[in-house]
Amino acid sequence: MNGFIGVVLFLILAPVAGGLIAGLDRKLTARMQGRVGPPLLQPFYDVGKLFEKERVVVATAQNFYILAYLAFIVLSGALFFAGGDLLLTVFAFTLAHVFLVLGAYAAHSPYSHIGAERELIQVMTYEPIVILAVVGFYMVTGSFYVADIATTTVPAILYLPGVFLGFAAILTIKLRKSPFDISTSHHAHQEIVKGVTTEFSGSTLGQIEIAHWYENVFLLGLVYLFFAWNPVIGIIAVVVTYVAEVFIDNVTARVRWQAALKSGWLAALLAVANLLILSYMMIGGA
């Protein structure tokens, strides 16, 4: 029953929260750049506008793929907030991005194709860490279920500091921020125009935006899990992490994809080392 309420709340509240977070993000970014920035509700205006625009379809298949992308992002978030299996959640999340890549490939534009290739590289970069994080949670709490992990009394962060740092590093990829905004960027201009989203316009682009809101809420949920033993600290940690990501966006240039991949895997190594030490301690303790 609790799970059902979680799903309903997520479906309704996540886009609201995601949009507000995006608005705060833009405001904060503007302040860091010495500007006033847009109104808080700007992301909602943007998406509203996108749905008012004419539908221009470059290739018919792409709309289907984007709808599937949105659906699977929502599904993975829903599974998460229902307290479901974290492994399943992560794989649904990956599948969603495969649809995004397919959508970008369906359009005939070199920018969109290069963006799609880079998106795949990004998936390769962050996937190991996400899986390692799930393994870490299992090692600490003994369960793959979000419901168990969220109600644990064990401070996961103390056991998984390396995993958390690795996760924070790849979070800039997922939030599409510098230094790792190589496949598409939310703010800055790029050599591949808008990368994966170049060929999407109107309501299709609006769907991508909404998917991004759901995605951000889900990712911040994952951050929360590291601190779940104390909800107050958890929420503070989520806010601090997000502000730190915005800050990093504003003090770095974009790197090349090779460096993004390398950093991602270095972060993964850090997480592996963390887990190895953890398993050694547990075996030693047992």
Partner 1 sequence: MPKRIVVPFGPQHPVLPEPIHLDLVLEDEKVVDVIPSIGYIHRGLEQLVQKREYPEYVYVAERICGICSFMHALCYCQGIEHIMEIEVPDRARYLRTIWSELSRLHSHLLWLGLFADSMGFENLFMRAWQLRESVLDISEDTSGGRIIQSTCKVGGVRRDIEQGKLEEIHRVMDTFEEKCRGLGNVFLNDETVKYRLQGLGVISKDEAYTLGSAGPTLRGSGVAIDHRETGYAAYGDLGFKPVVETAGDCYARCAVRVRELYSSIDLIRRAIEEMPEGGIDVKVKGAPNGEYFSRVEQPRGEVVHYLLGDGTKHLVRARIRTPTLANVPALVKMLPGAQLADVPVVVLSIDPCISCTER
Partner 2 sequence: MAFLKRSPWILHYDASSCNGCDIEVLACLTPLYDVERFGIINTGNPKHADVLLITGGVNEQNRPVVKNLYEQMPEPKVVIAVGACAATGGIFRECYNIVGGIDKVIPVDVYVPGCAARPEQIIDGVVKALSILEERRERMTGEAQVQEEARHDAAEAGESR
Residue 59 contacts partner 2 per CB under 8 A: no
Residue reference for tokens 């953890």: 278
Residue 214 contacts partner 2 per CB under 8 A: no
List the structure tokens of 196: 């994966």
Q: State which of positions 170-199 bind partner 2 (CB under 8 A).
A: 189, 193-194, 198-199
Please state, in angstroms and rounded to a whole number, the distance separating the CA atoms of residues 127 and 259: 16
Residue 38 contacts partner 2 per CB under 8 A: yes
Residue reference for tokens 């920018």: 111
Residue 114 contacts partner 1 per CB under 8 A: yes
Using CB under 8 A, which of the segments 10-18, 202-210, 214-222, 257-265 binds partner 1?
257-265
Q: State which of positions 234-253 bind partner 2 (CB under 8 A).
A: none
137-174 in b/e burial notation, b at 16+ Cβ within 10 A?
bbbbbeebbbbebbebeeebbebbebbbebbbbbbbbb
Using CB under 8 A, which of the segments 32-40, 87-95, 131-139, 236-244 binds partner 1?
32-40
- Concatenating the DSSP letter of every residue in 227-256 gives TTTSHHHHHHHHHHHHHHHHHHHHH-PPPP
Nearer to partner 2, 200 or 229 (CB): 200
Nearer to partner 1, 251 or 286 (CB): 251
- Closest by CA position to 139, among listed 6, 271, 248: 271
Please state, in angstroms and rounded to a whole number, the distance separating the CA atoms of residues 100 and 119: 9
Which residues 6+ apart lie within 8 Å of 94 measured at CB? 123, 127
Interacting residue with partner 2 among 16, 56, 240, 266 (CB under 8 A): 56
How large is the angle between the packed helices 202-226 and 60-81, nearest 10 degrees? 20
Nearer to partner 1, 63 or 112 (CB): 112
Interacting residue with partner 1 among 1, 191, 284, 286 (CB under 8 A): 191
Query: What backbone phi and psi angles, to 5 degrees, belong to 193?
Result: 55, -100
- Closest by CA position to 109, among listed 186, 4, 195, 38: 195
Q: State which of positions 84-143 bind partner 2 (CB under 8 A).
A: none
Interacting residue with partner 1 among 187, 201, 202, 269 (CB under 8 A): 187
Q: Tell me if residue 276 falls in helix, strand or coil.
A: helix
Q: Residue 56 touches which of partner 1, partner 2, none (CB < 5 to 8 A by kind)?
A: partner 2
Interacting residue with partner 2 among 8, 13, 16, 39 (CB under 8 A): 39
Residue 265 contacts partner 1 per CB under 8 A: no
**Chain residues in the site for partner 1 (CB under 8 A):** 29, 32-35, 110-111, 114, 178-179, 181-182, 185, 187-193, 250-259
**Chain residues in the site for partner 2 (CB under 8 A):** 26, 30, 33-39, 42, 44-49, 51-56, 189, 193-194, 198-202, 205
